[in-house]
A and B are shown apart, each in its own frame.
Chain A
Amino acid sequence: MAETANVTRAAAPTRGWRSDAAAYRAVIRSRVDSQRSYTANFRIDLLSSVLIGLVELAEVWVLFHNVQRIGGLEFAQILLVFGLADLSFSMADLSFGHCDNLPTYVRQGTLDVFYLRPQPLLMQLITSDISLRRLARGTVGVVSITAALAMNDIDWGVRTVALLATSLVSGYAVFCAQFVSAGGLQFFLIDGAEMTNAYVYGGRYAATQPAAVWNRPLKLVFGFFFPMAFTAYLPVVTLLRLPGTSWMPGWLGWCAPIAAVWSWLFAAFAWRIGVRHYQGGGG
C-alpha cells in the first residue's frame, strides 16, 4: 500500500539506498548484457527505432512543405518543438517505458514475485528491463534540436540555456509521470493495454504539436490536465519570444517545472490506487 511513499524515500531503513542502488544496477547490467549478446537483433532494433523517429520527423517536414505556418510556427520553430518533445519522450521511454509490461507481469504472476523482494514495486518494475534501442531513438531528437537551434535566430544567453535545460528536465519528468499513471491505470484494465498505450503515445504526439491550433477542450486536456504543451511547445514559444495564445501567454514556458510536479502528483495517486486495487484482489 505504501508503495508510492516508498518510492520517495528510497533511502529506506533496513540496509539503505546504497544496497538498493546496487541491486538495480546489477539487474540493469544483466539486462544490457543479455541484449548485447544477440548482436544482429540488437542492430536491427536500433535501426528500426531510428527509422521510426525519422518517419515521425518526415511527417512534420511534409506538412510544412505545403503550408508556411501552423499555429503561428514556422518549420524551423516546430522542429525545435519536435526535437524537445522527442528527446524528452525517448529518455522517459528508456527509463520508465517498461511500465507498459505491467499487464503481462500481472498475468504471468511476475508481479507477485516482485512483492517477495525488498524493493519498492515501481522501482522493480522500471528496472526489470531496459531497451537500449530506445537510446538510439534519442539521437533523432538531439539532431532535430541541434538543427533547429542553428536555423532559428536564437538570442543566446543564460536565459536561453536555463529555459532549454528546464524544459528538457521537466519534459522528461512529465513523460515519466505519464508512463507511471498509465501503469497505475493498467491495474484496472489488464486487457486494456491498447487504451493506455494510446494515452501515453497519444500524449507524445500531442506534445509535438503547436498547441495554438487546439480548441479549448483540447487545451484543457493536453495543455493542462496532461500537460503535454509544457514539454516543448510552451518553452519554445517563451524561448523564441513568440506571442502566446488564449489561455497560454508567452511566459508560460517557465512554468514547465510546475507541470512536472503536477504530473507526478497525479502519477503517484494513480499508481497508489492501482496497487491498492491489485492488493484488493482485482488483479
Chain B
Amino acid sequence: MSAIVETRGLTRDFKVREGLRRRTVRAVDELDLTIDAGESVGYIGANGAGKSTTIKMLVGILVPTSGSVTTCGRRPVEERRHLAREVGVVFGQRSQLWWDLPVQESFRLLAAIHGLPTAAADDRRDELVEQLEMGEFLTTPVRQLSLGQRMRAEVAAALLHSPRLVILDEPTIGLDVLSKQRLREFLIAERRERGTTLMLTTHDMGDVERLCDRILVVDRGRLVYDGTLPGLSRTVGAERILTVDVVAPISDLVGIAHTRHLGSEGDGLRQRLAFDAEHTTAAEVLAAVSDRVEIVDLTVQEPDIEDVVRKIYAARR
C-alpha cells in the first residue's frame, strides 16, 4: 500500500497576543504520521489538541512552521488546486453549500467547479442521493434543512468529485441516533466500494468504533497513541458497561468470565457489569448472563472518548 498522507516533523506555531506581549503557542509539534491508501483513521484528542491545525496543513490552508507534509503525493500549499480534486473535506461547522439555493443546485455548481463531465456528475449525484436518502429534500433551499439533512448534503457535496481521501471534521456532531447511523453506514459502504481513505476527527466513540480501524490520539500537538481501538482500551483500561434488566430479583451476577460486577438495583432486577472489548464481547457476556437468568431488557454503554483521552493524557503527565 502507498501512503496517502505522510508528515515528517510537522510543526505549526501560532503567535498569540496577550496584552502587549506576544507569545508563541505550538499547536502541532513534530508530528510524524503515515496513513496508507484505503485506511480508515480516527484522529482524536481534546479541544485545542491540534486536530484542526493538522487538517488545515494537510489540505494546504495553513503553511507548516517546519517539517514536511505530503497529501495524495502532493505538496498541499504549492499544489493546492490539484490536491483539491483528490481530497474531499467536511468541516462540521462550516458549510460548502450555498445557503439560499436548493440542494441540487449546490451539487450542480460543485460539479461545474470540479469540472466534472455532466453525465458522470449526474450519475454520481444520483448515487449519493440514493445512498444518503436525500431525495425528499433535494429541491429544498439549504437554509431550511434540518441539521441531519444538511450534514448528509455536506457529505455528498464533499464526495461528489469522488475524492481518494475524505477528511471529516466532527461529521456526526449534534446528529440524532438515526442520522448518525445512516451517515456511518454510508461511509462504510463508500469505503468498501471505492477504497476511499477516511480520516475523521470526532468526540463520538460510536464513530470511532464503527468507522475506524486505526486510532491516532494527539495531545498538545504530539501523537500519543497510534493503534487499534481494543489496544487503546487496553492501554487505558476503558471498559464498556452492560446493564441488564432481568425477570425476577436475583443475587449479584458475579463470576461471569472477564467481567466486573458494578452494582445492582431493585433487589437485583437491574444489574451492571463492566467488561473490556479486548477479552470478551457483548454477545459472550450476554450469553453467559442468559445462562443464569432470563433477560428482559439491556443497554450497552460505550466508554466515553473524553474519558479515554483524559486517561491517556493523565498517564503522560
Contact = CB atoms under 8 A, between A and B. Distances in A.
Interface of A: 1-2, 6, 12-15, 19-20, 22-23, 25-27, 30, 34, 108-110, 112-113, 115-120, 276, 279-282
Given A22-B112, A279-B61, A112 B81 contact: no
A281 B114 contact: no
Contacts of A280: 62-63
Nearest to A27: B109
Given A108-B94, A113-B96, A23 B81 contact: no
Interface string B103-133: 0010011001111000000000000000000
Nearest to B79: A2
A15 B112 CA distance: 12
A276 B14 CA distance: 14
Contacts of A34: 100-101
A22 B84 CA distance: 17
Interface of B: 12, 14-15, 56, 59-63, 77-78, 80-82, 84-85, 87-89, 91, 93-96, 98, 100-101, 105, 108-109, 112-115
Given A2-B78, A109-B91, A113-B94, A23 B62 contact: no
The 10 closest A-B pairs by CB, nearest first: A109-B94, A19-B115, A26-B112, A118-B84, A15-B115, A118-B81, A279-B63, A23-B113, A115-B61, A23-B112
A19 B105 CA distance: 18
Given A15-B115, A26-B112, A27-B112, A281 B84 contact: no
A118 B109 contact: no
Contact of A117 (B78, B84, B94, B101): B84
Contacts of B115: 14-15, 19-20, 22-23, 118
A119 B96 CA distance: 14
A112 B56 contact: yes
B158 to A, nearest CB: 8
A57 to B, nearest CB: 34
A30 B59 contact: no
9 contacts: A19-B115, A20-B115, A23-B114, A26-B112, A109-B94, A112-B91, A115-B59, A281-B62, A282-B15
A113 B81 contact: no
Contacts of A110: 94
B307 to A, nearest CB: 30
Counting chain B CB atoms within 10 Å of each CB, which of A13, A19, A276 scores highest?
A19
A261 to B, nearest CB: 26
B105 A30 contact: yes
Contact of B82 (A1, A14, A30, A281): A14
Contacts of A25: 112
B81 A116 contact: no
Nearest to B108: A26
Counting chain A CB atoms within 10 Å of each CB, which of B60, B78, B84, B105 scores highest?
B84
A281 B81 contact: no
A21 B15 CA distance: 39
B101 A30 contact: yes
B80 A115 contact: yes
B91 A118 contact: no
Given A1-B63, A27-B113, A116 B108 contact: no
Given A26-B112, A27-B113, A30-B105, A279 B87 contact: no
Contacts of A30: 98, 101, 105, 109
Given A1-B78, A13-B82, A112-B94, 7 more contacts: A26-B109, A30-B101, A109-B93, A109-B94, A113-B94, A116-B89, A118-B82
